[in-house]
Amino acid sequence: MKALLASVTEPAEIAGLSRDRLALIPGIGGQLSGEIHSFFHRPMGLQQSLDEARRQLEQLHRLGGRMMTILDPDYPPLLREIYDPPACLFIRGTLPPQPQPGLAVVGTRHSSTYGKACAALFSGGLAACGITIYSGLAYGIDMAAHEAALKAGGTTVAVLASGVDTVYTDPKGRLWPKIVERGALISEEWIGSELSAGKFPKRNRIISGITSGTIVIESALKGGSLITASSALEQNREVFAVPGSIFSAHSEGTNMLIQEGRAKPVMKIDDVLAEFGTMLPPSRKE
């Protein structure tokens, strides 16, 4: 979508582009250009899509949410910068105002007592300094990060791999309503869409892309948190990792990030603030 919008003066012009013209747009190519052209030239298909979009908006409004598109002035500026920003975001709650700084705190679902304590330390401390904490509301480190930010009186945003109508990790509403009250649930997935494995890496690139940096707390060598870290590096964001025990499988991923020079080791909040202190309001730097 970002490439398409960059190729025209007005978004409506996309519908009038030929297959050949679409194919010349970087990142589109032959197959996708045919699909885009066919979409705009199948009257019934286009009408069905418009009807479904209206239904989505109606459902979102019933949930008290709103939709934000990449064309809106309040679309998160850092997210807009990445290679493949979502065309739209479904939002329940309120995204923090710009330029309030944000950091991602992510880690394994199978967190240890040590990992949860680290998540509480960093998320709570950084939230108290005026930094918004972003995570994925998964079990383990993610939930610990959201809870600590709220306990510190800060703001937190959960980026979901499902639609904002379904929080599969918190079906009884123990945590997510508090996040909506003091931050937001956001997703690029349609309401009612089924959760699948492929949606988690898509979600992870939003977590890293919407923030200035990512802190990884406990991750196995093949953990999803390493995908978030890789996305952050590709997006030219800072990556931090909390060192862990050499005897813990849950710390193999974080220790590897540090060993390979892909992440800066952090052991206290000041290690992170040293990188982002200039972004904070004067009253929060002390």
Q: pTM here?
A: 0.91
Query: What is the pLDDT at residue 285?
Result: 47
Residue 40 belongs to some domain of the structure: no
Measured distance CA(176)–CA(207) in Å, rounded: 17
Query: What is the pLDDT at residue 66?
Result: 96
What's the order of all strands across the beta sheet hosting 264-265?
66-69, 88-93, 184-187, 156-159, 132-135, 102-107, 213-217, 238-241, 264-265
Q: Does 279 have pLDDT greater than 70?
A: no
Residue labelled with tokens 């950091």: 103
Residue 232 belongs to some domain of the structure: yes
- Mean pLDDT on 83-101: 93
Q: Does 242 have pLDDT greater than 70?
A: yes
Which position has the higher pLDDT, 283 or 185?
185
Domain span at residue 151 reads 102-281
- Mean pLDDT on 120-134: 96
Residue 189 belongs to some domain of the structure: yes
Measured distance CA(39)–CA(58) in Å, rounded: 23
Beta bridge partners of 90: 67, 187
Q: In a 3-state reduction of DSSP, which class is residue 228?
A: helix
Q: How many domains does the chain have?
A: 1
Please give the mean pLDDT across all residues of the chain.
Answer: 91
DSSP string, 136-155: ---TTHHHHHHHHHHHTT--
- Mean pLDDT on 216-229: 94
Residue 42 belongs to some domain of the structure: no
Give the amino acid at 224.
G
Return the closest-CA partner of residue 128 out of 262, 275, 31, 272: 272
CATH code of the domain covering residue 206? 3.40.50.450
Measured distance CA(157)–CA(127) in Å, rounded: 11
Query: What is the pLDDT at residue 286?
Result: 46
Residue 68 belongs to some domain of the structure: no
pLDDT digits (tens, 9 = 90+) for 166-188: 999 999 999 999 999 999 999 99
Residue 125 belongs to some domain of the structure: yes
pLDDT digits (tens, 9 = 90+) for 1-42: 788 888 888 877 887 888 888 888 888 888 888 888 887 777
pLDDT digits (tens, 9 = 90+) for 128-150: 999 999 999 999 999 999 999 99
For residue 257, what pLDDT band results from cuts at 50, 70 and 90? very high
CB 141 within 8 A of CB 116: yes
For residue 281, what pLDDT band results from cuts at 50, 70 and 90? low
CA torsion sign for 105, 108, 109, 113 is negative
Residue 9 belongs to some domain of the structure: no
Q: Where are the beta strands (DSSP E) in the chain?
A: 66-69, 88-93, 102-107, 132-135, 156-159, 184-187, 213-217, 238-241, 264-265
Residue 254 belongs to some domain of the structure: yes
Return the closest-CA partner of residue 118 out of 241, 260, 255, 281: 241
